[in-house]
């Protein structure tokens, strides 16, 4: 699903979860097979692309992508260079580290320790694959900053941590990971997360790649400047 205005673009993609009812790791080897059933739990990615506001700092050569999960209190800010075609993590925020900034963001380097060490591997892989395939260029892309919100249905997780997604009773409940003291360093915080095994990582990759690929595969009109 997508919508577009003169100022911003919105795309929403979701993927259903699955349960493997027959088979195991042996199905990774041919000719073994397994049987999976789709379930009602879905992972959703909401992409919004807004023009840069006047006075905001932006790299004329780069495409800014922020991936955030309110459920897990995390945020990743990336920059994709349209000239070198490298993806760099500029900053990272979570409950354990606070906000960390890349001390030496270099779009000309393909091996960036900060990007490798602090990226979520599923998010990084989805972004890298999409940008590598479509190789976007032009002001229609660099003139907008992209924000992608990750939302997993509560059925992907178990235990405490559910709260209403909105004040309206019609809105479904969304899992929010509880913050607890770190077992190794009680003065620091960490998250308590238990998965139910419905394939949250796979559905994250599918919905994230789908939303970004849809945006990159259909070049939008050059953005209007945002006052």
Please report where in the chains the tokens 């770190």 appear, as a residue: 182
* Residue that wins the pLDDT comparison between 205 and 137: 205
Coil, strand or helix at 4: strand
Measured in whole angstroms, how far is the alpha carbon of residue 63 from the centre of its chain?
A: 15
| Alpha helix segments (H runs only) across the chain | 113-118, 121-134, 139-142, 200-217
In this prediction, residues 73-102 reach a mean pLDDT of 93
Q: Please choose, from the candidates 154, 150, 146, the residue with its C-alpha nearest in 3D space to the C-alpha of residue 69.
A: 150
Measured in whole angstroms, how far is the alpha carbon of residue 182 from the centre of its chain?
A: 25
**pTM of the entire structure?**
0.83
Neighbours of 8 (CB within 10 A): 18
pLDDT digits (tens, 9 = 90+) for 95-111: 888 999 999 888 777 77
């Amino acid at each position: 699903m997508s919508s577009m205005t003169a100022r911003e673009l919105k795309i929403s993609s979701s993927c259903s979860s699955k349960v493997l009812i027959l088979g195991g790791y042996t199905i990774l080897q041919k000719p073994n097979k397994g049987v999976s059933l789709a379930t009602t739990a879905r992972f959703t990615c909401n992409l919004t692309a807004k023009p840069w506001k006047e006075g905001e700092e932006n790299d004329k050569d780069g495409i800014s992508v922020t991936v955030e999960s309110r459920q897990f209190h995390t945020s990743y800010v990336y920059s994709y260079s349209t000239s070198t075609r490298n993806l760099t993590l500029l900053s990272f925020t979570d409950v354990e580290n606070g906000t960390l900034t890349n001390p030496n963001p270099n779009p000309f380097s393909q091996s960036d320790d900060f990007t490798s060490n602090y990226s979520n591997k599923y998010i990084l892989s989805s972004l890298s694959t999409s940008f590598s395939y479509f190789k976007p260029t032009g002001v229609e892309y660099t003139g907008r900053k992209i924000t992608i919100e990750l939302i997993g249905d509560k059925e992907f997780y178990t235990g405490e941590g559910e709260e209403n997604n909105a004040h309206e009773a019609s809105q479904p409940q969304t899992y929010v990971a509880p913050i607890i003291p770190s077992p190794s360093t009680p003065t620091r915080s960490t998250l308590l997360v238990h998965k139910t095994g419905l394939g949250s990582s796979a559905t994250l990759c599918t919905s994230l790649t789908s939303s970004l690929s849809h945006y990159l595969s259909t070049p939008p009109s050059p953005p209007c400047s945002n006052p």
